[in-house]
Chain A
């Protein structure tokens, strides 16, 4: 599929616009620390640093960022999108050019969520006085397609093709070297922590869930360690191949760890009103009707005490299941 370079309505994105901005010295590129930044930050930061730009990264999510996000974003959007708006608002005055990754596809014929495809439009139309943005679509289905994005971004910044190519390759290497995911060892009780990466790794929005679970003596396993082929095998059993990347990954991981008995329970962190989650959760429930499964809904109003109670109750239940009731049938 050939997609032309996208031009955003209110931000002129003619070739080399960035060159004009360079008068004052090194260009500052703003990268919001929201949504899939947690997964792809080595790529983004390395790419722009190697291109010779300064990068301005927003702070870790905090109350101010969330409040700004709630203020600017449309009401109906989910919390991660609101937080992204907050990150943009917090750095928009400190950078010359803003990067809003429009991640269309990570795998062939799979999407993430319509909101990711329209993210630049959402941000640009909701927040005033934005600097120019780099919002070309990202198709990470192959190296060649991903390079299209790099080329467009480099052209926009007025960099030579050669420089872009070098920066692109070192960015790819940095991304490959980066290992993410949690695989705790040495705990008696283990749970699989599932959800969109931005919910799992943003300790503000999930209220330090990882630490809290560890403190309760529960080890955590996240989906990154399951092999792609295993996921695909599991998903093949569905009537229809899911067309969201995270549906496939989360569903495949959940069903696989439960069947392989790697963990004792599953905790699903889901943001309120998340479209894909409403489907994944149902699919997992259908496939694993008798497996301990806790759904934590988070939104901008989540009370911490309620979350704590639920985690503790779940932890108690798991402990009893493994220690006392291990000889009973799972649904007797």
Chain B
């Protein structure tokens, strides 16, 4: 069994740590590129959302490298993501690939027994003991937390750095270097080194950079290819960014959700505008917009794939938040046809707008 998985941001680093820990064979699909998207959209249904197309591209690229099993998380919320597995199975079968899917769904929908069965199926080829397997999972989660933390602080510090481009450089170097090791323990140590390194870069605390929150649909905000590396670009502009939705947040949220203790802060701040979970991450999007204003951010950018149902609801709510809180929010819709130039122009114009607002006499009032 050679396992593969779809890309989503830095999740590949954590998955590498997991399978190295388990001592199993796996394939990391080539990083997302226009090629993967072209292949994906050629075979995908026309009206499906962007993540589906990129994922199909990932699978096909991974199969070329010998993968035969896909691991996918599922959901049974009202968002389309939950139906991906069924469609992708049919699609890959029709294309003539023999691909096995292991879908990790929430236990309340498939039953805890079935979930364990599926988890056992993933880890069965591993010769490690149960204790080692658990440790591998723990290490992988640690890696995920660390890389998310490093990324978040690099994105935030980018606005304050004295040597322009230093944060971006460190972040890229970190991602490159951590992939050279196959021992999860060493990976964790490397990441910790980089975390320290970021702490000691020279920053100008008197600077008051623009701060922008990235909100929206989880896949498109996390996966840099689908949002045209918006966070890297904002780093280049010297803008500090914050993104609440990360893979480590997702795991934490999922674990806490049966006890209804997940993301309490977001729930509280979104209550005024959207009082219930409507699927996807609409409530998180609304809550984060409100939170960003409270935390003194200058603006927010919402990114979602064309036709994303939950985000359409949050998009209709955001103008009200913008009006009530005097907080600029821009919505960007991405799909496989989005032109990069037009997209960048809008981001630049938005940054200009935020900059000029500051020189307005009424700013902050």
Contact = CB atoms under 8 A, between A and B. Distances in A.
B309 A275 contact: yes
B315 interface: yes
Interface string B267-288: 0000011111011101000000
A279 B74 contact: no
Contacts of B48: 278-279, 282
B80 A278 contact: yes
A179 B61 CA distance: 52
B180 interface: no
A273 B306 CA distance: 8
A240 B82 CA distance: 9
Interface stretch (A106-114, A166-174, A254-262, A317-325): A106-114
Nearest to B82: A243
Nearest to A243: B76
Contacts of A302: none
Given A6-B275, A7-B275, A114-B310, A73 B89 contact: no
B296 interface: no
B320 interface: yes
A111 B309 CA distance: 13
A282 B45 contact: yes
B87 A117 contact: no
**Quick one: which of B316, B317, B319 has the most chain A CB within 10 A?**
B316
A252 to B, nearest CB: 15
- Sort chain B's interface into a size bin: 35 or more
A238 B316 CA distance: 34
B45 A114 contact: no
A119 B247 CA distance: 29
B78 interface: yes
B272 A9 contact: yes
A287 to B, nearest CB: 9
B79 interface: yes
A193 to B, nearest CB: 20
Interface string A308-326: 0000000000000000000
Given A3-B276, A6-B276, A278 B312 contact: no
Interface string A72-111: 0110110000000000000000000000000000000101
A137 to B, nearest CB: 7
Nearest to B44: A282
A27 to B, nearest CB: 25
B273 A76 contact: no
Interface in A268-307: 272-279, 281-283, 286
B169 interface: no
27 contacts: A77-B316, A111-B77, A111-B78, A111-B279, A114-B280, A115-B309, A117-B276, A117-B279, A118-B314, A118-B317, A121-B317, A122-B312, A122-B313, A125-B317, A240-B74, A240-B85, A243-B109, A273-B307, A274-B47, A275-B49, A276-B80, A277-B47, A278-B80, A279-B48, A281-B45, A282-B90, A286-B90
Interface of B: 45-49, 74, 76-80, 82-83, 85-87, 89-90, 94, 103, 105, 109, 272-276, 278-280, 282, 306-310, 312-317, 319-320, 333
Nearest 6 pairs of A and B residues by beta carbon:
A118-B313, A111-B78, A117-B278, A278-B47, A114-B279, A114-B309
Given A114-B310, A286-B94, 12 more contacts: A7-B275, A74-B312, A76-B333, A114-B280, A114-B313, A121-B316, A122-B313, A125-B319, A239-B86, A278-B46, A279-B83, A279-B87
